[in-house]
Every structure is written in structure tokens, then in C-alpha cells.
Amino acid sequence: MRERVVIFGEHGARVGIVTVPPPAQPPLGAVILTNVGTHHRIGPFRLYVDLARELSIAGWIVLRFDLAGFGDSDAPPPDMSHGEAHAADLRDALDMLETRFSVQRFVLLGLCSGVDSVHAAARDDARVSAAILIDGHTYPTPGFQRRRQLRVLQPGRVVRYLRRTLDRYGHGGTRTPVSAEGTDTVFTRDPLPQAAWRADVGAMLARGTRLLFVFTGSVDYRYNAADQLYEQLEWSSPSSLIRIEHWREVDHLFSTEAFRRRLADSVVGWLADLVAASEPATASARLALLPSDGR
Amino acid sequence: MTSELRLSGQSSAPALVPLGGMPLFFGAADHPLFGVHHSPSGRGGRGEGIVLCYPGPHEYRQVHFVFRQLARSLAGDGFHVMRFDYSGTGDSSGAMSSRDLETWARDIAVAADELRDRAGVRRISLVGMRLGASLALLAAGSVSASQLVLWDPVVSGAEYLEKLEALQRRTLRDLHYPVSNAPARDELLGHVVTPVMRRALTGLDLRAVSLPKARRVTVVCAEERPEYAALQASIAASGVAAELTHVPDETLARVDRVLDTFLVSRIPASIRTILGTRAS
């Protein structure tokens, strides 16, 4: 595994780190990690550094870079909105990886506000074969409302509320959660209308794009059941191209090693399944090369 | 080791140079560090270098933007500037579990050597913030630092640890259901703090550190604390020119306050003044 600095971009310099797998066999493709909120390319608690290294060991080229206006990259051009600039940045990133590293399979990963540019690129760029969307678009469905009403009096929720309230009175603390890395609240942004989101997801799936949706407990106020995604899509049956992970005890920024480990394992495993599903002939050929005792 | 830098685009196109400085990997091939080198803008330059030393991981994110801006400003003032990530932090090699203060102090010396090689400068000053200021003081001798600027230094590592632990207790208490961030024993606010690091921090007391041979030391602080005055007095008593500069600033984020906003502080401007008027 080697890490290299890359600078690219047609609309100003974009700074990134490419993690390249060991040269033993051709890379499986490239994974691109976009900025999380105001974090630069390392991600919260160095999530992206560790994830890139894990994915690289699994055979992927990984690019984590700063979109326009973030980290060490230049600001967006004055005649482009942030959304337009970020869309252009992702196109330039795919172009660069295609040219410099001969990549043909692309996977994009976005967390929080990073979902916006990933969603748009997965919709618009046919080179994107898969996307991982963490705490992305959510829409309160009738099912969400019913479940929320039923859960108000859950013992765990009541105990936590009482403990927090009593501690606050006892310690004279503030209502605002504090953290050295970030608060427990989720960044807000202009939502994509649900109808548009449904149409976009439908278009991605029609093209064969595989999607991994991950929802944490930090968005419990908007997403409170694993299959709520299908309620949002208004589909009665699941799609084989979609996997949903719903981790209610995990927070938005994955602020423990155990949470980061879980995300890495899930992503690496899902991508392995993606490769196996898209290359069955290759997988069979690899199996045929194994010694007869299975080692 | 030279950095590996690949540029996209046509071979005849000019190389892209980010306004935020030139990123690079440097140091040992099996243990590379990541840094960003800012060259002086405009004509000439002072022929001097500055290494910016980030705070510890718990305060790193809030300062990344500020250090980028400070580095650009100092480059505009004619300095070569290097900001870099310690081992096991940022983009540098190593895992969280590999972090320790001794290694980080050596990393500062490696960064200074890289800056001397790249920029052709001999005189290097160190500017450190919070734990980075403490590390700058520890590394000053091996770097042969010309000047030290210590921005809100962590004078007592034990007190610093206690503040982080208090913040963790409050964070866990204020979690919204159903999130349950029970940290492992060696974790503190999302970062691994190994027993080795914990012992090093507990034993850190700048008032007991061997004093640097720097020409001048300036302690800059947003809030007057007795330990800063004690540190300045301790350094001055050894015969090294030492000053304490208080720059009142209510917007400066601290480890015991909400840290989800960018730093907007007048201290970077003070640092430029300190370095600019005293460089020769």
C-alpha cells in the first residue's frame, strides 16, 4: 500500500491523497471519499484515512480529496455555486483516476453533506457503478410518524432523558452538547424534494448502480426503521441492488473505534459482494486455481 | 525522500499549485509524514523558515483552517512555512495507537530539516498551538529554533487530560437517544489514547522542561492564566528573552466549550507581528 499526493482539477487546484493497493494484482476499481461537513479529507476522527487504507488492502484504489473551498483545495470559481463546483470536482476526480490509473469501476462514498455530491454524480455519471450514502436523504413517512409516537415512552429513552435533565440541574450545564470533535447534531442542508429523490434512485437502479444506504442513530429524528427507505421510495418489495444498514446506537461521526470498525467491515464486505456479483466468471476461475485441499 | 506528486492534465499544461500551499510526503520512506509547504509570495523573501505545530488530535480539526490561513499570511510576509501532521495523525503514516509525545517532538525536527532542505533556509522558528506549543518547546533544542511562539500552550499535561475527560463525561451525558457512544478504555473523545501517551501527558510539565536555546520565546494567550506567567518567568530566569503577550479574544474556541465553529481570533495577526518585527 502506498499513499501519494495528487493535485488535479479544471476549475482550480484540488488536493487529495490516493492510496494505491499492493501491486500483486490489478486494482478492483476506485473508491472516492468526499468531504464530511467541514472536515477536510481525513474525515472525522481520521475515519477516511483508516477506511482508505482498509479498502486499499482489499484491492481498491482510494481517492480522498478536498472539494472546492474545503481543506487544502482552492475556492470554487466565482461564477460557480458550491453545488456546481463540487459536481465538476467529482467529474474531474473520475477523469483523473481514469487517465492516471486506468480505472474503469468507480464507487463513491458520501457522509452527511457529502451525500449531496455523491448522489448527483451517481445519478449523472454512467461510470459510477456503486454509491455508499451515509445519513443521506430522509423523508418522514406515515410509518415513521407511527413508530415515533409508539417509541416516545420507550424505557431507554425515558431513562436517558431523566438522567440528562437531572444531571443538568445538578451540574448547571448547558443544553448544548459539547464535543472536541463535533456536536451530536446533524448538519442541516437544503433537502432534495422526495419526488426528485425517488426518480433519481430509480434512474440509478435502472442503470444497474448498486447502492448501500447507512443510517445511524443520529438521524433517528427522521429515520427510525431499517426499511423506511422503501417507504420513502413507495416500493412494496426490496431491490437486490440496494442494501440498507441501520445502526441505531451509532452516531453520525462514528466517534468510537468500534463504530469505525463496523463501517469499514460493512463497506469492504459489500464491495467484495459487488465485485463477486459483477464478475462471476472471474470468481469461478479463481476458485479453480485453488489447491484441492482448499488452502 | 522526495514527495510523490502527480499532476493530471496535458503534459504541456502548467503544473497546478494550490493557493493553500504545496502538499507533500517527506521523512523516512517507511514512515512518511504529510506536510504542506508555503513558499514566500512576491519577490525575494526573508530567507527564514517557520514550522507550524498543530495542537493535539482533539483540537486539530478546529485549527486546520486557521493554520492554513496563518501559513499563507506568513508566506505573504516573506517566510517559507511548513505545516505538517504528526505521526498517526492527519494524513501522516501510522495509526492512532502509535501516537506518543516523544515521536511527535522528533517529527517537528524532521519537518524542520525538510523545510531547510526544500527552501534552502538555515534559520527556523517554531509556532505551536496548545499541545503543539508544548511540543515546540520540547523540540526547540533539536531544531536549533531561532524563535518560539507558544500559543496557549498546554503547560500541565495532567490538567489537559483532566479537561478532556471532563468533556467526555459531559458529551456522554448529553447524547441523544438511541445513540450510545460507550468508549473503549483507551479512547478519549473518539481518539485512542494509549497508556504510553497517557503517562507521557500526565508527566508533561513545561515548567520542568530544559529550556530551549532559542533566541526569543513569546507566550501568546487569549486568556491570562497563572501557569502562562509562571512559564514565561521560568524561561526568562534562565537567561532566554521571554515575553508574555495577552490578546483578549472571546471567540477563541477551547476544549471546554462548543468547538463546532471556525476559530476567528486576533492571535494569528499578533503572531505575524511578533515574527515579522523580530526576524532579522
Q: What is the ipTM of this complex?
A: 0.89
Put simply, the answer to whether B180 touches A96 (Cβ < 8 Å) is no
| Cross-chain residue pair B256–A183, CB shorter than 8 Å | no
Binary contact (A7, B5; C-beta < 8 A): yes
Q: Which 3 state secondary structure label does DSSP give B211? A: coil
Q: Average of pLDDT values for B78-102?
A: 94
Average pLDDT (B161-176) is 87
Confidence (pLDDT) at A290: 41
What number of other Cβ atoms are within 10 A of residue A205's Cβ?
16
- Residues B190, A256: C-beta atoms closer than 8 Å: yes
* Peptide linkage before B178 cis (omega within 30 of 0): yes
Residue in B with minimal Cα distance to A65: B91
Are B105 and B255 spatial neighbours (Cβ–Cβ below 8 Å)?
Answer: no
**Mean predicted confidence (pLDDT) in B66-85:** 95
Interface membership of A183 toward B (CB under 8 Å): yes
- Digit-by-digit pLDDT tens for chain A (295 residues) are 899 999 999 888 999 999 999 887 789 999 999 998 889 999 999 999 999 999 999 999 999 999 999 999 999 999 998 888 999 999 999 999 999 999 999 999 999 989 999 999 999 999 999 999 999 999 999 999 999 888 766 666 666 666 666 655 554 433 333 334 443 334 445 679 999 999 999 999 999 999 999 999 999 999 999 999 999 999 989 999 999 999 999 999 999 999 999 999 999 999 999 999 886 554 444 444 444 433 3
Q: Rounded CA gap, B108 and B129, in Å?
A: 13
Kindly provide the residue ranges of all beta strands, DSSP E only, lying in chain B, ordered along the sequence. 5-7, 22-26, 33-38, 48-53, 80-84, 123-129, 147-151, 187-188, 191-192, 216-221, 241-246
Q: Is A217 on the interface with B (CB under 8 A)?
A: yes
Give the one of B16, B32, B174 whose C-beta lies nearest to A164's C-beta: B174
Which residue is listed with cell 466517534?
A255
User: Residue A90: left if φ>0, alpha if ψ -120 to 50, beta else—which one?
Assistant: alpha
Section B134-155 average pLDDT: 94
Q: Which residue has the higher pLDDT, B215 or B254?
A: B215
CA dihedral B14, B20, B25, B26 (to 10 degrees): 110
pLDDT of res. B276: 84
**B182: contact with A, CB 8 A cutoff:** yes
Q: Note whether A40 and A70 are within 8 A (CB).
A: yes
pTM of the complete model beyond 0.90: no
Confidence (pLDDT) at B46: 82
Lowest-confidence region among A283-287, B132-136, B177-181: A283-287
**Closest CA of chain A from B138, distance in Å:** 25
B30 vs A contacts (CB less than 8 Å): none
Contacts with A, B 3-62, CB within 8 Å: 3-9, 15-21, 23-25, 32, 34, 36, 58-59, 61
B69–A contact, CB cutoff 8 A: no
d(CA B220, CA B234): 15
pLDDT at B211: 75
Give B210 to chain A, closest Cα distance, Å: 31
Residues A178, B167: C-beta atoms closer than 8 Å? yes
Question: Where residue B261 falls among pLDDT bands split at 50, 70, 90?
Answer: very low
B18 contacts A7? CB cut-off 8 A: yes
pLDDT band at residue B263 under the 50/70/90 scheme: low
Q: Which residues of A touch B262 (CB under 8 A)?
A: 38
User: Which residues 61-90 on chain A approach chain B with CB closer than 8 angstroms?
Assistant: 71-75
Q: How far is B32 from chain A (nearest CA, A)?
A: 9
Cα nearest neighbour of B95 on chain A = A50
A227 in contact with B, Cβ within 8 Å:
no
Across the interface, whether the CB atoms of B175 and A177 are under 8 A apart is answered yes
